[in-house]
Amino acid sequence: MSYSLNYLTEEQKRQFEQEGYLIVKGLFDKQQIQEIEDTFEAIGRNPVPGHFEPDLSDESGDPLKRYPRVMHPHRFNEAAKRYMLHPPVLAVLEDLYEEPPLAAQSMFYYKPPGARGQALHQDNFYLKVEPGNCIAAWTAVDAADLENGSLMVVPKTQDYDIVCPELSDAKESFTTHYVKPPKEQKVMPVSMDPGDVLFFNGNLIHGSYRNKTKDRFRRSFICHYANESASQISHFYRPLYRADGSEVDLKENPDGGPCGVEFENVYPH
């Protein structure tokens, strides 16, 4: 049975399939971005054990000690859950999957001035969505550009196998994993305005560089999704959620992946 697009154009769908990523402009309006900004401004004032654990007295000079990322805010904040299930985002995902999406994860990155980036990696190494794949929806809360550490993608690597990562450069990346891109493909920066959403395939190699500015944050709200027909996912991401907010509990994927079953994935997403 052929699928009829409901939100995307044929050209947008083709871009995602051929390049592994797609930017959709203005999926969040100014008022919605302001609510996201206000929500995480409030969250950022106090620790939330297991989700946001800043060192409020840190004097190390590492801005990520004060502003680490917020993990799974949808599990303790209703606004975060609502925006994880933002109808326009889900509509795009349904066109990309050609079936309803399931929300698996939310995150918020503050990325303050001077913060390190995140080494190149592949998302489905961690989520382990099977059968199918995860898709990320990366929403710019601030304008994102090369100077403040925008996301970097390696186009056309969506068909590249999930590989066991190497060790990253700790001076430039706050995460330890690094996936070397194929020689024939180049790393490309993605510039975005507040409210734009970047969708990308779970195998696509991507990451970011340091925020080189002195006074600009690069805040982003990032969610990961699975296709409704998936049956397994890593246990870190259970339960998942349908569009109406009801829970779906896929089986835990026990596969050790390309590093072997003895390798325990550290939860970097």
91: domain CATH number is 2.60.120.620
Residue 5 lies in a domain: no
Report how many domains make up the chain. Answer: 1
CA–CA gap between residue 196 and residue 138 (Å, rounded): 8
Residue 265 lies in a domain: no
Residue 94 lies in a domain: yes
Residue 2 tokens, joined: 């052929």
Question: H helices then E strands: how many in the chain?
Answer: 6, 16
User: So what's the pLDDT on residue 58?
Assistant: 67
User: So what's the pLDDT on residue 262?
Assistant: 46
CA distances in angstroms from 61 to 9, 55, 67, listed in the order given: 46, 12, 12
Residue 84 lies in a domain: yes
Residue 21 structural domain: 10-45+61-246
Residue 3 lies in a domain: no
Map tokens 């699975």 to a residue.
Answer: 226
User: What is the DSSP-derived secondary structure letter of residue 87?
Assistant: H
Residue 182 tokens, joined: 């194929």
**Number of Cβ atoms within 10 Å of the Cβ of 59:** 8
Residue 158 tokens, joined: 């969506």
Residue 251 lies in a domain: no
CA–CA gap between residue 64 and residue 46 (Å, rounded): 15
User: So what's the pLDDT on residue 261?
Assistant: 57
User: So what's the pLDDT on residue 57?
Assistant: 83
Mean pLDDT by 10 residues, the chain (269 residues): 94 98 98 98 97 86 95 98 98 98 98 98 98 98 98 98 96 97 96 98 98 98 98 97 97 90 52
Residue 171 lies in a domain: yes
Residue 255 lies in a domain: no
Residue-level length of the chain = 269
Q: Where are the beta strands (DSSP E) in 141-250?
A: 151-153, 166-167, 177-178, 188-189, 197-201, 206-208, 220-227, 232-233, 240-241, 247-248
Contact at 8 Å (CB) between 119 and 178? yes
Residue 218 tokens, joined: 């690069």
